[in-house]
Structure 1
């Protein structure tokens, strides 16, 4: 027996040493797999920024700011008409640390009129709000947590935690034998398990090192490891680990661990800002995250929370009046969590694709990345609402059921993607129509045709007449292709500007054949369409099947005066040590003359005011300088609209997933969505024409200079020196005056 006893003690000692090594290895090494977090763009604030008070308010709500009496608490604001007081939270951006700051903002005429420090009154030139977290890229185990230090938690939270879960935490050494005896007696009297005697240290060991199986071996391991953990590490380290490890709920297939993430998950705020009733609720949830889920079982959760508050009062931690006020407070839980794998799944799809395209795969496998994107949450919400409302209205008023849609919004100048909507149910993680739908784009390609022509100002101007007569082309299989205009009419000789603004198909085909189809294809590639394009005549009329993201690249180049920059959704990626990952370079290249692009864009402006988009375009504000193009495919299957204003470009598609007939043109389906979006997000004045542009009045019938006697005349832009010199017959007296002026100049040369 002695020998067996010695052997047993040696075995126990050896096993204890093994468990000690397990405890140390994980507690001192990498304790958790931390997911990568994806952020929207931070809202930049500076004097005279185009920004409405309503959009600022939307942004504040999205990032979890709360209204308060004075706006001086971190993460709070006060609004008084067009005046705001906001106290920001500190945040580490990719390039600098932004400290918490109280600021005063005044708005006037949809602009930020002034920005000052709310304490000192000194003017501020620029600051950024912290960005909204829009998604998470999970590790393999699907667990999630926001790591916090004990100092980040409200003191009352940790006090309540110990008061409810382990009253003797500060005094025991891993095991509380009095609690074990008390629980055993209660369970014996009840005839079932009604109480547990585990300490916080034991709970940490169970969650951190072991599994939840109820076996004697696991309980022995738990006890030994709890004693070893207390022997090796101080109480603060153990409590901090517990605060980051404890399970507090479920978000779909993602487990919520730790108080840091739970504060965001339930209250949309960092843990530092938790109030007494909110802290008590998190402690209450610990007993059973599903049973006390405050979103599903609010009364049950309230009762348990109030019990936690009562314990704090009983222990003398808080006074009676404060306890009663906390118990009377609402739960304060947000209606639904705005975390999850992504609030904006369509945009996150684009982020993941660009990460794979522009970053090294080995770097992306690092945990705890912070991915800063270009998404503008206010513009994203605007796009989602506009698309959903229009599809609902088409179903309600016109019986058009089962419609779907997709859209992409980009920022002029930077080529940053501000929003991506993948369908009428934007939160649904399904087929992403903005990126993956492949449909004929119709007349959205026509600007490339006209840019090809206008890049030769000695041959073509917006006033050049082209033939919009019938076209018949014999195909290789012997059939004859005879495209017609939408109105089934031929219009004879028309100006280029008219042909584009009214989207005449016959004129477009005639022009494309005259220019050469390969030249048109080269222009499409230059504008950013990277797909293989066969030089068939049908390409001129948009037979090419593309997605909204592809058309967004093309119209981005048009909006940026011929400068091509690859669309980007990712601004910067930082590793866990806040160091930027190396990315493959994105280059901006001037591919077209700004003057030639300007001519095309002005014709597109006419299209919106007088041509295919006039049903909606005539009602849009003139000062926004909006331009755009409708796209309608054969048999009215797809409805497209693409265009831009002073600040943003957008492409909208509406159709059926099964490619059935919608009965919608580009003007009746996609255009109203586009117009609704653009009126809300374009707040600046129109762009200034580039150099080498002059404006001349021309007669629509002849393409020559016009004067008072001409019935239909247009003010059109021309590259300097390319405008028509002769007057139209309708100009009448203007011609005589021109001749007289000419001879007067000649005579003057000989005086």
Structure 2
């Protein structure tokens, strides 16, 4: 009996343990709730996780891909200042100011210049173009008898100095955004410090969001009863600008917060601040939105970002808070107050000394001259787009931010545009019938053939109709130098050869064509140089008949005329229709004396990493000898001396240049070609409706050329002729070389072998 008692007791104890192990209903309910909450939370987090994953893809794709679609930038040629070239001190000072150099007490810093009563010094900027890297240079310029002397600080003379290429515009797509892309190394450190001090003091400590800033914003918004403050970091501002819309909702704010954290997770602070500097919106310029501090610096101050003073940087940073509100062009007082507030923040944080603060707030806001910024390069950009269309598609040019280097000379372009406007205005004022007179001009480098300037109208700014390309008109007497070249090329004619200027008739298609001289007179027997210089039609067409009209046509085509034409007698007097650009190309082989034939516009295309994508080389083959072309050019120097360009010679009595005037039937077109040591220039004036005018080549287009040359300090044509040509003095009444004793002589150029073999001593008999 005693042994059974423990077993019974054990069974009772087991039952009690089972009853105690069974959970209560409340506990079971709690466990069930937790389980379902976990399941629901897990299911709810899945869409959130997918959303975050999708946002992460958006952040990375945009930030590592092409962040911005920036149109290609077009640059001018560097301005080469040559030792010994004709220059005026005031002209060089104006050029430095126009290219963004500022004058101060000294030129120690890059981008600064200084002047005394006789000298100018400048610390020229470094630059990269298709020829390589060009380091910054500090140079001293003095002016001796109207000619430039270039020296180093130690006093050593140098052959040249270069002002960096200037951006003259954009190609395609540039009408919606204006932006310049900077790397982190190119951002001035003071600008970064100012931006962080004003917009996000904890930038280097937070992970994209500032909890204290957000808390402060919540308090302000709750107390104000509306959204008054955002509490955004620089990272959040960047996310908002790059990825999101401007709507003010809590959903968008949550998206902004998540993307900001993701951005900070993937990328460095340097990458984020660089993107911000390039992205920030700072102004609206008509249809174009101005983004980034670099573009804003060029627009508002006309100089690179790294050359701004502290007060100028503070102005730009102050505009971040309200680009329209604090725009210095529209609200200069409000903008200055905002700038001074930023300077006060810098002072309070110890980033600016008390003296620096006092000095900075006293500075007025000095903005760039907007008249200088308005483009005079629209007509030139037409040529750039035309040439590049053969090698680059429009989308690439619109989005890839390529750098396009051209041959445009900013000084020549502005001077040509101003000369055209001035002289057309004077002509219209003097003769009301000339109202609506239009014009075009093409300026090329005489030797290389690079197009230095293009003017497509007489209007102040680009009109969209480029007459330099589109005004195809009869060229009149401009056809004569190529015609006389045809005669010289035969070897049977020289400039001294005589020809009869008499009336002549031609049967053209059953109709009688009888040309006339402009003065309706005949001049008898004249030398070829006289006939061309004085533009005698009758002598010229007689010469064309002697050498053959087809030969003249072949010469025109060999010199570069690509437009189809049918050769007949009237073409020999200028019925051939060409644009000013085509005329300029026609004259280039003559002007260069065989060194170039085609005209060059684009030199090279590079990307933003300084890699050369394409170099453009010009064709230089000319189917005529250098000697023949040089002799032809020499003949054209007689036009200013004895012919229809004497007015130009009187303005520049010491300038040795070649010229040709042209006037078409009923004076519907006024032409002038002028060739100096530096430039070959074609000028056309006319009416778009092709009506008769009261001006000739001499009284119209020549005046534009004179005005242009007054602003360019022209150089004379070189005296030395190429091998195979030489200059001789002849007596004026027979084909003999004149000794030094002879009077009444004429100096003419000859292809060697065609000059006189006999000479006259001019001694008096005893």
Q: Same fold (TM over 0.5)?
A: yes
Structure 1 partner of 2:115: 79
Q: What is the DSSP-based 3-state SS (H/G/I as helix, E as strand, rest coil) of the residue aligned with 2:603?
A: strand
**Mapped partners of 1:424, 1:681: distance in 2:** 23
Q: Is 1:676 aligned with 2:694?
A: no
Q: Is 1:662 aligned with 2:696?
A: no
Could you tell me which of 721, 729, 748 is aligned with 1:689? 721
Call closer, same or farther: CA 1:415–1:12 in 2, change over 3 Å: same
Q: Is 1:452 aligned with 2:486?
A: yes
Structure 2 partner of 1:375: 408
Q: Give the deviation of 1:453 after TM superposition.
A: 0.9
Structure 1 partner of 2:553: 521
Structure 1 partner of 2:24: none
Q: Give the deviation of 1:103 after TM superposition.
A: 2.7
Q: Is 1:543 aligned with 2:572?
A: no
* Residues 423 and 707 in structure 2, CA contact (< 8 A), matched pair in contact too: no
**Mapped partners of 2:465, 2:715: distance in 1:** 32
Number of residue pairs the alignment of both structures matches? 727
- RMSD over aligned Cα, in angstroms? 3.0
Q: What is the DSSP-based 3-state SS (H/G/I as helix, E as strand, rest coil) of the residue aligned with 1:311?
A: helix
Deviations 1:674-732 (A, max 9, x none): 123235342256331344434243446x77888999997644333445346789xxx9x
**Mapped partners of 2:426, 2:653: distance in 1:** 23
* Residues 645 and 678 in structure 1, CA contact (< 8 A), matched pair in contact too: no
Please say which of residues 285-294 and 135-144 is displaced more in the overlay: 135-144
Q: What is the DSSP-based 3-state SS (H/G/I as helix, E as strand, rest coil) of the residue aligned with 1:408?
A: strand
Q: Give the deviation of 1:486 after TM superposition.
A: 0.8
Could you tell me which of 298, 309, 319 is aligned with 2:332? 298
Structure 2 partner of 1:56: 92
Q: What is the DSSP-based 3-state SS (H/G/I as helix, E as strand, rest coil) of the residue aligned with 2:49?
A: helix
Call closer, same or farther: CA 1:619–1:121 in 2, change over 3 Å: closer
Q: Give the deviation of 1:37 after TM superposition.
A: 1.8
Call closer, same or farther: CA 1:90–1:722 in 2, change over 3 Å: closer
Q: Give the deviation of 1:632 after TM superposition.
A: 0.6
**Mapped partners of 2:631, 2:190: distance in 1:** 67
Structure 2 partner of 1:225: 259
Please say which of residues 605-614 and 624-633 is displaced more in the overlay: 605-614
* Residues 70 and 174 in structure 2, CA contact (< 8 A), matched pair in contact too: no
**Mapped partners of 2:251, 2:203: distance in 1:** 24
Deviations 1:619-655 (A, max 9, x none): 3223x21111101111111111002012211011111
**Mapped partners of 2:192, 2:69: distance in 1:** 24
* Residues 411 and 648 in structure 1, CA contact (< 8 A), matched pair in contact too: yes
* Residues 310 and 323 in structure 1, CA contact (< 8 A), matched pair in contact too: yes
Please say which of residues 409-418 and 562-571 is displaced more in the overlay: 562-571
Q: Is 1:97 aligned with 2:130?
A: no
**Mapped partners of 2:281, 2:332: distance in 1:** 19
Please say which of residues 388-397 and 26-35 is displaced more in the overlay: 26-35
Matches within 5 A, 1:408-427: 408-427=442-461
Structure 1 partner of 2:79: 43
Structure 1 partner of 2:464: 430
TM-score scaled by length of structure 2:
0.88
Q: Give the deviation of 1:282 after TM superposition.
A: 0.4
Q: Is 1:609 aligned with 2:645?
A: no
Deviations 1:184-215 (A, max 9, x none): 44445555554332222111111111222344
**Mapped partners of 1:231, 1:430: distance in 2:** 49
Deviations 1:556-600 (A, max 9, x none): 211122444211022222223322224465331242233333343
Q: What is the DSSP-based 3-state SS (H/G/I as helix, E as strand, rest coil) of the residue aligned with 2:241?
A: helix
**Mapped partners of 1:141, 1:9: distance in 2:** 45
**Mapped partners of 1:710, 1:75: distance in 2:** 58
**Mapped partners of 1:102, 1:704: distance in 2:** 56
Q: Is 1:346 aligned with 2:379?
A: yes
Q: Give the deviation of 1:450 after TM superposition.
A: 0.8
Structure 2 partner of 1:18: 54
Could you tell me which of 336, 341, 347 is aligned with 2:370? 336
* Residues 532 and 639 in structure 2, CA contact (< 8 A), matched pair in contact too: yes
Call closer, same or farther: CA 1:722–1:122 in 2, change over 3 Å: closer
**Mapped partners of 2:729, 2:136: distance in 1:** 55
Q: Give the deviation of 1:664 after TM superposition.
A: 0.8
Please say which of residues 345-354 and 209-218 is displaced more in the overlay: 209-218
Q: Is 1:567 aligned with 2:595?
A: no
Q: What is the DSSP-based 3-state SS (H/G/I as helix, E as strand, rest coil) of the residue aligned with 1:107?
A: strand
Matches within 5 A, 1:60-71: 60-71=96-107
Q: Is 1:489 aligned with 2:521?
A: yes
Call closer, same or farther: CA 1:227–1:718 in 2, change over 3 Å: closer
Call closer, same or farther: CA 1:125–1:616 in 2, change over 3 Å: closer
Q: What is the DSSP-based 3-state SS (H/G/I as helix, E as strand, rest coil) of the residue aligned with 1:494?
A: strand
Call closer, same or farther: CA 1:46–1:281 in 2, change over 3 Å: same
Q: Is 1:195 aligned with 2:226?
A: no
**Mapped partners of 1:596, 1:152: distance in 2:** 53
Call closer, same or farther: CA 1:78–1:607 in 2, change over 3 Å: same
Please say which of residues 654-663 and 446-455 is displaced more in the overlay: 654-663
Call closer, same or farther: CA 1:658–1:104 in 2, change over 3 Å: same
Unaligned runs of 5+ in 2: 1-35
* Residues 560 and 585 in structure 2, CA contact (< 8 A), matched pair in contact too: yes
Matches within 5 A, 1:701-720: 714-720=746-752
Call closer, same or farther: CA 1:321–1:63 in 2, change over 3 Å: same
Deviations 1:531-568 (A, max 9, x none): 11211211111111111111111222111224442110
Could you tell me which of 652, 658, 679 is aligned with 2:683? 652
Call closer, same or farther: CA 1:46–1:660 in 2, change over 3 Å: closer
TM-score scaled by length of structure 1:
0.89
Structure 2 partner of 1:631: 662
